[in-house]
Structure 1
Amino acid sequence: MLDASDPAGSPPLQPGQVLARGVARHLRDHDFACLEEFVPERGLRMDLLAVGPKGELWCIECKSCRADFTSDGKWEGYLPFADRFFFAVDCDFPTEILPDAAGLIIGDGFGAEVVRMPEAMPVATARRRKLTHRFARVAAQRLHRMRDPMGMLL
């Protein structure tokens, strides 16, 4: 029997990955394209970067529990790479510990809802161009890897 964390018989997803999938589904319904575990620059890895229909860049950090949030101080490093920054959590997460300036998304493995929209902080034009280009290349590389997994070994 399949469950929310293992829809295709692949290795079980971690709680944050399950949450990222639900958030990506929600954003896809609003015409955003999403990449999980996107690296904007060396040393940083966003849980989810979403590019909207007008080119807007949203960074979403998925937190599975209080310890996950308190042990991760890197999220502030993502702010220069996104027009809007969100935390995504499940309905049992203690949201009062999250910064008020950040957006808030409540979700699960099947969907999500934006509960609090953060103020927009536009990304610098040169950085936006670089990020959008990197987003496209990473997406294409991942698609190619899926279609030709052996090609990466040659």
Structure 2
Amino acid sequence: MTILSFANNNPLIDGRQSDRAMMVRKGVQVLLNEMRFAVLPELSLASGRRADLVALSEKGEIWIIEIKTSIEDFRVDRKWPDYRAHCDRLFFATHRDVPLDIFPEDCGLFLSDGYNAHAIREAPEHRLPPATRKAVTLSFSRTAAQRLMMAEWAVGRSLGIDET
């Protein structure tokens, strides 16, 4: 999966993400980067679900951040509890037009303005079993390496480098 694309076929922006979701995502990515987390959007999990953002700390802690941009977006989503099996901490992220009291107290909460984000509530820790941590970490690293390679190839092609 490319994360850098000069064409309009970037699979990380597949049309399901609204402009508001992308705005929330960017602000949360900026904050997590400042916190020295590595962050991947749209990471497929072993359960078949796809997490909006997965963050890996310097110590190997795994966070999943589920982006919600409206009350309806939150209410129709029944899959988010499944993410707990794949992370040490589960967060929601949203923007100022969504009432914060709709989000469950047993999850962390970020508020994003697109330029940065603020942690409104910390997420309780529920440590992953070692085998699950290893599986998620390997998936994270392999996906990141694959995306980097595809981004490099996209840049090479866009610069007119002959691939033969």
Query: What's the TM-score once normalised by structure 2's chain length?
Result: 0.81
For residue 101 of structure 2, what is the aligned residue in structure 1? Answer: 96
Match of 2:121 among 116, 120, 135: 116
The reply on whether 1:142 has 2:142 as its aligned counterpart is no
Letter in 1 for 2:81: E
The reply on whether 1:38 has 2:43 as its aligned counterpart is yes
Could you give the per-residue CA deviations for residues 52-99 of structure 1, whole angstroms, max 9, x where no partner exists? 111000000010111111111110010011100000011121111111
Judged with a 3 Å threshold, the aligned counterparts in structure 2 of structure 1 residues 76 and 139 are, in CA distance, closer, same or farther, namely same
Once residues 128 and 41 of structure 1 are traced to their aligned partners in structure 2, the CA distance between those partners, rounded to angstroms, is 12
Shift of 1:17: 2.1
Once residues 123 and 139 of structure 1 are traced to their aligned partners in structure 2, the CA distance between those partners, rounded to angstroms, is 21
For residue 69 of structure 1, what is the aligned residue in structure 2? Answer: 74
Letter in 2 for 1:82: C
Aligned residue pairs, count: 143
Describe the SS at the equivalent of 2:65. Answer: strand
Once residues 141 and 9 of structure 1 are traced to their aligned partners in structure 2, the CA distance between those partners, rounded to angstroms, is 17
- Which structure: larger Rg? 2
Match of 1:55 among 46, 60, 66: 60
Identity of aligned residues (%): 35
Unaligned runs of 5+ in 2: 158-164
Q: Which has the higher contact order (CA 8 A, sep 6+)?
A: 2
Shift of 1:21: 1.4
For residue 83 of structure 1, what is the aligned residue in structure 2? Answer: 88
For residue 130 of structure 1, what is the aligned residue in structure 2? Answer: 135
Query: What's the TM-score once normalised by structure 1's chain length?
Result: 0.86
Letter in 2 for 1:113: H
Describe the SS at the equivalent of 1:148. Answer: helix
Could you give the per-residue CA deviations for residues 94-129 of structure 1, whole angstroms, max 9, x where no partner exists? 111111111010112111011100210001100101
Once residues 38 and 137 of structure 1 are traced to their aligned partners in structure 2, the CA distance between those partners, rounded to angstroms, is 11
Once residues 7 and 71 of structure 2 are traced to their aligned partners in structure 1, the CA distance between those partners, rounded to angstroms, is 27
Shift of 1:9: 8.7
The reply on whether 1:25 has 2:40 as its aligned counterpart is no
Once residues 10 and 42 of structure 1 are traced to their aligned partners in structure 2, the CA distance between those partners, rounded to angstroms, is 30
